[in-house]
Amino acid sequence: MINFTERYSDFSKWLSAIGSDPTGGMTRLLYTDEWLAAQNGLKEKFQKAGFEAKFDEVGNLFGRVEGSKYPNETILSGSHIDTVVNGGNLDGQYGIEAAFLAIQYLKEKHGQPLRSMEVVSLAEEEGSRFPYVFWGSKNIVGIAKNADVMNIQDKKETKFVDAMRKAGFDFRDEKKPMRDDIKAFIEIHIEQGNVLEMEKKQIGVVNAIVGQRRYNIILKGQANHAGTTPMGYRKDTVYGFSKICYESINKAKAVGDPLVLTFGRVEPKPNTVNVVPGYTLFTMDCRHTDKAALVAFTTEIEEDMKRIAKELGLEIEIDRWMDEDPIPMDKKLVETFEAICKRDNYNYRVMHSGAGHDSQIFAPKVPTAMLFVPSIKGISHNPAEATKLEDLAEGIKVFAEAFYELAYKD
């Protein structure tokens, strides 16, 4: 097995330059010029390595090495090319790099596999530009609905459809069935937490992904003069938000792990020093490994929010725009990853993922599993996102071994 350090460093340096932010982070949003440049650049890299490279209708990019004996059985791997705003250069990107480098190495050393191997650079996962997530993977498995994105737009009021078509892509035919050749989907990712680092482990074998519920919530009161409106007569939406935030987070802390709750975005209007804010939009993100517990907790919080709004004389609109179930990984694939780690003496542990990943979209349709490598200080979605180079290289080695087991053995 080669040392992947140099190959990874060169490839990552090249790809990380596309969409790099002057502050040191990465911004590569769906269907932007930066996103398109990255996808086209990857297509050229795939082709130069001898892969068959092509886009699907919506902009997912595939690099394929055909199998000799079972060409219609494909081991698919990859991750998403889009980023959050001013994020890091590992989230999503590392999974594409690792899959490509692993397949390239196996092709060089062992020649044509028995089963087809394919790397995918997925169009979108984050939901950072438009209020929709997993556009790439949902289209591959045939569950994306064109109607869900037909009328959505980004913060600059650019419509999803217009951005997609400007980038040269369009909707998938909803009557077209999903691919039936995918025998397995495997994904490698940075942990985005600090469990592996704290426990001094190099590899995480993921056995489940948490369920998530995400909300856009609007409070409507009355904007009024900050000096002439007595406290008792105010309909202050920031005050309403603060009560909701305080009560909800206290309840989440009381429940404890693995439940997590976040209020990540708050936009009061008119958002000026001398006016009582009459309108506030805020977001809520709640996650748990158990579906029933997730539903019970968020249902209680929704009722709490309605009660608080009523007590303060405010109107409230609650839009739960994301509702993803917890997803278990395929038992046999998890066992395959574990067997490799045990055989080659990798320092690993089995764990769940607290973040959402494209694997949760593939898993209900095809056998799916994930690997994690450590995140330094658990930081992600941040320019400071980092992983030790030796850990990134070790992850690719395990991944290459998994590809060999799945694609080269009868």
Structural domain boundaries in the chain: 5-210+326-407, 211-324
- At 23 the pLDDT is 77
What pTM did the predictor assign? 0.82
> Could you report the per-residue pLDDT of 174-197, keeping only the tens digit for each?
888 889 999 999 999 999 999 999
Share of the chain above pLDDT 70, in %: 100
363-to-8, 122, 137, 373, 406 alpha-carbon distances in Å:
28, 16, 11, 20, 17
Q: Which residues contact 307 (CB under 8 A, 6 or more apart)?
A: none
Report whether 287 belongs to an annotated binding site: yes
Q: What band does 355 get if pLDDT is binned at 50, 70 and 90?
A: confident
Does 352 appear as a known binding residue? no
The pLDDT, as a whole number, for residue 177 is 85
Q: What is the model's pLDDT at position 272?
A: 96
pLDDT for residue 320: 97
Rounded CA-CA distance 97/92 in Å is 9
Q: Is 274 annotated as a binding residue?
A: yes
Question: Would you state the pLDDT for residue 175?
Answer: 85
Q: Is 21 annotated as a binding residue?
A: no
357 is in an annotated binding site: no
Q: Decide whether 5-210+326-407 matches 211-324 in CATH topology.
A: no
Per residue in 97-148, pLDDT (tens digit) is 999 999 999 999 999 999 999 999 999 999 999 999 999 999 999 999 999 9
Average pLDDT over residues 209-234: 96
Sign of CA dihedral 255, 260, 264, 267: negative
Please indicate if the annotation marks 108 as binding a ligand.
no
Contact by Cβ (8 Å): 238, 275: no
User: Is 91 a known ligand-binding residue?
Assistant: yes
Query: Is the C-alpha dihedral spanning 70, 185, 93, 340 positive or negative?
Result: negative
The confidence score (pLDDT) of residue 24 equals 82
Taking 80 as the threshold, does the pLDDT of residue 1 lie above it?
A: no
Does 284 score more than 80 pLDDT? yes
| Assigned CATH for 5-210+326-407 | 3.40.630.10
pLDDT tens digits, one per residue of 307-319 = 999 999 999 999 9
User: Average pLDDT, whole number, for the chain?
Assistant: 96
- SS3 labels along the chain: CCCCHHHHHHHHHHHHCCCECCCCCECCCCCCHHHHHHHHHHHHHHHHCCCEEEECCCCCEEEEECCCCEEEEEEEEEEECCCCCCECCCCCHHHHHHHHHHHHHHHHHHCCCCEEEEEEEECCCCCCCCCCCCHHHHHHCCCCCHHHHCCCECCCCCEHHHHHHHCCCCCCCCCCCCCCCEEEEEEEEECCCCHHHHCCCCEEEEEEECEEEEEEEEEECECEECCCCCHHHCECHHHHHHHHHHHHHHHHHHHCCCCEEECCCEEEECCCCCEECCEEEEEEEEEECCHHHHHHHHHHHHHHHHHHHHHCCCEEEEEEEEEECCEECCHHHHHHHHHHHHHCCCCEEEEEECCCCCHHHHCCCCCEEEEEECCHHHCCCCCCCCCCHHHHHHHHHHHHHHHHHHHCCC
Residue 292: band (very low, low, confident or very high) from pLDDT cuts 50, 70, 90: very high
- Reported confidence tier of residue 217, pLDDT bands at 50, 70, 90: very high
Distance (Å, whole) CA 75 – CA 185: 6
Look at 15-19, 173-177, 334-338 and tell me which has the smallest mean pLDDT. Answer: 173-177
**pLDDT value for 219:** 98
189 is in an annotated binding site: yes
Its CATH architecture, for the domain 211-324, is 2-Layer Sandwich (3.30)
